Chains A and B, each alone.
Chain A
Amino acid sequence: MNPFAYLRAPDASSAMSARLRTPGAQYIAGGTNILDLMKDDVERPALLIDINSLELSRIDARDDGVLLGALARMSDVAAHATIRARFSAVAMALDETASPQLRNMGTIGGNLLQRTRCAYFRDPATACNKRVPGSGCGAIGGENRTHAILGTSDRCIATHASDLAVALVAFDAIVHIVSSQGMRTVPIRAFYRLPEATPQLENTLAPGELIAGVFLPFPPFPARSTYIKVRDRAQYEFALSSAAVTVSMQSGMIAAVDFALGGIATVPWHVPAAAASLIGQTPSTERLENAATTALEGTRGYGQNDFKIVLARRTLIRALAAVTA
């Protein structure tokens, strides 16, 4: 931990202007991620701008969907009746995230911006292109059991850590962003960036911009959804592999379906063609397996994480079978 200044921002515009005029400033909401990184000497913010006073914590059930305020606590969203009834994969993903204590503090916006658990990113004694661009990737050829098999580059194979984001991608949620120019929206499916040559750039937020909320549109048909998470222990552990699936069944046929994969990729993994191949079909083992094959095209193991190629496939098939049964 290093010395830093602290500012409690009364509103979004003062938070953003403080951020833009102070080099090395960072926002803090629940603090469940940045405080760890500061203790590990990974983040050294000169100024922490506390945004907890901003009026962004509402969970607003509307006619066309639910708007989750960026500062809504994960535990409150998971307990919300409409979320549980209409977006059960979101509630399940939240329920299976971290621990009750962390869910009570962690916010929706913060969860989407959490940094990877890659041990090299979190250890300044090692090489990491995400932490220090150009320094190399310790995980390639190193301890990479929990690392990504999709969306990797020769610069970075760090897994995206969020469960929530995986479920939001399956539901095609919209991220509401506030900037000094006003509000803008971006589909969550376009929010994250692949590491490619610049793993330090993780999303499409411009400097100073704040996530204001996330809009979850109601699916056009009555839908069932599930989130299946495979991990090393029963609680307080990140996914080795996960799948969020939402489906509408009509007379035994798949009328609509979408899904995303987590724990195995550098961003929440979404392959539109894989889901599309199932629409209009009656579910069968072969069709679900074919969809999984399409979804997992291009996987690459790095040694210790080779088993995830099989595990991810089985996770997706289990989730698809569960909601189409």
Chain B
Amino acid sequence: MTQPLIGKAYDRVDGPDKVTGRAKYAADNALAEMVYAVVVPSAIASGRILDIDDGPASRASGVLAILTHRNAPRVDPRKNKENEADLYLLQNDAVLFDRQPVAVVVATTFEQATHVANLLRLRYEQTEPQLNMQSAKRFVPEKIFDKPGTFTRGIPIAALANSSHRVAATYTTPTEHHNPMEPHATIARWDAGRLTLYDSTQWPFGVRQRMASVFGIEGGKVRVVSPFVGGAFGSKGTAWSHVALTAMAAKVVGRPVRLVLTRPQMFGWVGHRPQTEQHVQLGAGNTGALQAVTHDVVSETSIIDEFVEPCGVFSRDLYAVRNYSMSHTLARLNVSKPTYQRGPGESTGSFAMESAMDELAYDLKMDPLELRLRNYADTSPDDGLPYSSKRLRECYTRAADRFGWSGRNAEPRSMRDGTDLIGLGMATASRSVHRAAASARFVYAPDGTLTISSATIEQGTGSPTVYAQLASELLDIPLDRVHFVWGSTDLPFAPIAAGSQTSGSLGSVVVAGATRLRDRLATGENIPSAGIVLDVSDEPTKDEAEYATQAFGAHFVEVRVDANFGTVKVERVVSAFDGGRILNAKTANSQFVGSIVWGIGMALFERTQFDSRSARIMNANLGEYLVPTNADIPDIDVSMIESDDRHVNPAGVKGIGEVGITGCAAAIANAVYNATGIRVRSLPIRPENLL
């Protein structure tokens, strides 16, 4: 039973359904008797609702319900066992951030509901919002991702003092909103105490659990359907307020209710990447050997809840350095609760750490790639564990060769073409590997077809393709005879499709199921008419904990900076990745390329703009919240390094959805420095930084 280290580049199995419109996304479902809800977001970021004039709204045609804190059914999420403080369910008059849900209107048509929402007049008492991380209330969270957020090994301060070369700099990254193409959408229907939700989510079982908790019903009474998700990137990892509000509205009007967020509302209550301020210190000897690294992080969180952007995860065990410390501090601002966004912590943390490494290389007058090789960690510097596999060295070599790195002139402003300054930069990519318990049902029919079902979702990554492909390869069954069924809580449990963990988690279930099925088939037993049915689960083993598990990569970037205008154009990106076993070369390439595109956006464009006086978001649309256009994206050359990892998990995969964004912004900033001699430590890099 073998599978290739780099799986065939099969076209995605759901492609035809998507391009012909047959694939149903949450809001595509039209239920009998369905009516429409629209959320009214707050116009202030701090204060309380004084008065609601719903006179004209309540007389508008088609109106069925107007829910506000005065009349909304009472739920008290904070009494429930799960941490649900981030749900805003019209339970009181407090406003804590811009675009907080303050009312929900329901009407017969979407247009009527939109109009009713416009007619509702709210009067507020506005208090001065807190938007400044310096003056905000700060605190040190107990944990980040179930691990201590503050950590020290060795004696970094003394080691810094004894280092002949030091870098000490502060780097900042802005608030960024995910903005998947498909806005969040929910349809809710109640039938005799049972709730059905069609929802755009990364985790059907998570939505079930949370809604059961909010409405005080058994999990088994909540059915969640979510086959196709039009992008999520972390913003659909949790059931935000609108999911419960839709269910609440459906209960009140006694009919199915559909609710779709508008683009400006996508900047409201559905999460964002928090702004960070990161202080990094590096100490090294004359040979470039790192003596000490410290990484102190302040990031924003909301007024009553906490989310930590775990930037230190990146620096903690990347290079061979004995003396290390990290800390994470939160600042309470009048913003909505931040959440995971593609490469949480490691994308932002790598900007700081890999920019600092470039600064150190210049200080040492050493090639930045050479500096990284001199500090290459062969075992985890954190706990001495061996890596399950690590082919970062090969990533550096492959990408540097394809890029032509050896011809680089390190001197800033040394390369020109007309009015353009040309710069080359590089950075390391690294992302921790996660995996969770998952399950699936295998049904092998007498006609030789295999159906595998599990409650995961397809958010554009190609999951249904790769699981069918993996089973097909392991069992030597043609791909068109393997069917993967997914997308609802009617199916066996699957974990959240996030953290680049899905293919490791569910892929390992497929490996386990294929192994059991092969053994059954080897017995020569007669296949019953209902087929051979196997319920398969798999979870991380103790053996896996004996290894440090990380995906790696390297980016090499060429930029052109207009010397007069300060505009930056990324000319080339050449990257190589060690993502463990690659299940499908085509869908994997798309994941890497998409991550790099996001990295370019992070480096040059993305930034949520708040009015500093009101904490109102002033660019809540895709005209002014800038992401790269096609014209901003150069050819992106991605190499996948063959990696035979026997320890990371049974599927041998490390997860590839996020490693590509890590290091990318730093590589671009480093290239901008090489071009201009200007070190930009605050993202995004914009013309005014380089004039």
Contacts and interface: CB of A to CB of B under 8 A. Distances in A.
B91 interface: no
A117 B623 contact: yes
B316 interface: no
B687 interface: yes
A234 B687 CA distance: 13
A311 B626 contact: no
Contact of A307 (B623, B626, B629, B687): B687
Interface stretch (B110-118, B352-360, B399-407): B110-118
A226 interface: no
Given A117-B623, A233-B604, A307 B43 contact: no
A232 B118 contact: no
A287 interface: no
B687 A232 contact: yes
A119 interface: yes
Contacts of A3: 111, 115
Contact of B614 (A2, A126, A231, A237): A126
Contacts of B631: 233-235
Interface stretch (B325-333, B467-475, B492-500, B605-613): B605-613
Contacts of B623: 117, 236
B209 interface: no
B598 to A, nearest CB: 14
A314 interface: yes
B411 interface: no
A318 B564 contact: yes
Contacts of B686: 232
B564 A314 contact: yes
A280 B383 CA distance: 77
Nearest to B686: A232
B616 interface: yes
Nearest to A236: B629
A240 interface: yes
B566 to A, nearest CB: 8
A310 interface: yes
Contacts, number: 84
Nearest to B419: A318
B174 to A, nearest CB: 13
Nearest to A3: B115
Interface in B614-639: 614, 616, 618-619, 623-624, 626, 628-632
Interface in A273-309: 307
B691 A311 contact: yes
A43 interface: no
Given A119-B624, A230-B567, A314-B565, A235 B632 contact: yes
B131 to A, nearest CB: 12
A138 interface: yes
Contacts of A234: 569, 629, 631-632
Interface in B277-300: none
A111 to B, nearest CB: 16
B611 A143 contact: yes
B564 A138 contact: no
A126 B616 contact: yes
A119 B624 CA distance: 9
Given A3-B115, A126-B614, A233-B604, A307 B691 contact: yes
B567 to A, nearest CB: 6
Given A141-B613, A232-B687, A315 B629 contact: no
A60 interface: no
B605 A142 contact: no
B629 A235 contact: yes
B62 to A, nearest CB: 10
B447 interface: no
B688 interface: yes
A64 interface: no
B629 A119 contact: no
B629 A1 contact: no
B632 A233 contact: yes
A307 B688 contact: yes
A117 B628 contact: no
B618 A120 contact: yes
Closest 3 CB pairs of A and B: A307-B688, A234-B631, A125-B43
Given A120-B618, A314-B691, 13 more contacts: A119-B624, A123-B616, A123-B618, A126-B616, A142-B611, A230-B567, A232-B567, A233-B632, A234-B631, A237-B626, A237-B629, A307-B691, A315-B565
22 contacts: A1-B115, A3-B115, A117-B624, A119-B618, A125-B616, A142-B612, A143-B611, A231-B567, A232-B567, A233-B629, A233-B631, A234-B631, A234-B632, A236-B623, A240-B687, A307-B687, A307-B691, A311-B566, A314-B691, A315-B565, A318-B564, A318-B565
Interface of A: 1-3, 39-41, 117, 119-120, 123, 125-126, 138, 141-143, 145, 230-237, 240, 307, 310-311, 314-315, 318
